[in-house]
Amino acid sequence: MKKSVLLVAAALAVLLGGCVCPAQAPATGVPTSGPISVEDGVGNVITLESEAQRIISLAPNHTEILYALGLGDRVVGVTEYCNYPPEAAEKPKVGDFITIDLEQVVGLEPDLVLATTMHMAETVPALQERGIVVFVLDPQSVVAVLESIQKIGQLTGREDEAEALVADMQARIAAVQEKVQGAPRPKVFWELGPELFTAGPGSFVNDLITLAGGENVAADADSPWPQLSVEAIILKDPDVIVLADHNYGQTVEMVKERPGWEDIRAVREGNVIEIADDDIVSRPGPRLVEGLEFLARAFHPDLFE
């Protein structure tokens, strides 16, 4: 990994209060022709004969990284949910994220497919059996998002562009950190749905809450995406409620009408936050820093006047 990512990893390790260990650094300089070997997100070393020219993305965040690196012309297939940037939606569709049309993928003749861990049980081995090179990435931390950008840059000969993107994200993260440093940390409940699923430890959302100057009320949960009870939320009494399910119909007024929720500080004091574009906080890609900036302003409006 390049120097800038190592510096980001070290800085975020301190900020998040834990050890963040970046992937092993590759040899300096990735050739634009000849074999390229990169370790994917699950520890498999994937080798391409040369930089990828025909790429299929099986996840919206991978698609956003490709376009951010100027690789839109090399993208030959995406999923139904790959809608950003808008031109990505015009690419051939190979599935709906979970269900992938294998034969359509093969027919598009990719030299690289970017997948996630959700595809590992069936899609990845099925594509590999058909001779398709698959690279799995599923970043669950801010540092891992930066590493994913670097890895895709290596596979495509866009290392310089990846470095520039990471440097920009690093600078924006640092600016947020400077603003919120030393400020009181509000307790935050992150609502993923009315069933009260939320983000817990080991999720990139937990990272975002922490970096934005908040304290995740589910940080002590036993899984990255736990479900809390109404009683637990009322007991935790969050200072801020983030409706990451606003695009799916949940509103501030609906939260106010929930039995017992009127006693929660966030409801009482009007700190229930609707996210109009939940993609900036739900996709571990380049726009994650936009989500971080949005959250920091929501948690600490007095610091961003």
Q: Is the pTM of this model over 0.85?
A: yes
Q: Cite the DSSP H helix spans in 142-200.
A: 142-156, 159-180
Give the span between the Cα atoms of 139 and 158, in whole angstroms.
20
Give the span between the Cα atoms of 216 and 186, in whole angstroms.
9
DSSP 30: -
Which backbone phi and psi does 6 adopt, to 5 degrees?
-60, -40
pLDDT by residue, tens only, the chain of 305 residues: 444 443 344 334 433 433 333 333 333 334 456 799 999 999 999 999 999 999 999 999 999 999 999 999 999 999 999 999 999 999 999 999 889 999 999 999 999 999 999 999 999 999 999 999 999 999 999 999 999 999 999 999 999 999 999 999 999 999 999 999 999 999 999 999 999 999 999 999 999 999 999 999 999 999 999 999 999 999 999 999 999 998 788 899 999 999 999 999 999 999 999 998 889 999 999 999 999 999 999 999 999 87
CB under 8 Å, gap of 24 or more: what pairs does 275-278 form? Answer: 275/242, 275/243, 275/244, 275/246, 275/247, 276/246, 276/247, 277/247, 278/244, 278/245, 278/246, 278/247
Give the span between the Cα atoms of 247 and 33, in whole angstroms.
44
Domains of the chain: 3-168 (3.40.50.1980), 182-304 (3.40.50.1980)
Tokens 């007991």: give the residue: 235
Structure tokens at 99: 């269900």
| Cβ count near 270 (within 10 Å) | 8
Give the DSSP H/E element, type plus range, for residue 135.
strand 134-136
First-to-last alpha carbon distance for the chain, in angstroms, is: 37
Which backbone phi and psi does 153 adopt, to 5 degrees?
-60, -40
Written as one letter, the residue type at 305 is E
Give the span between the Cα atoms of 146 and 4, in whole angstroms.
10
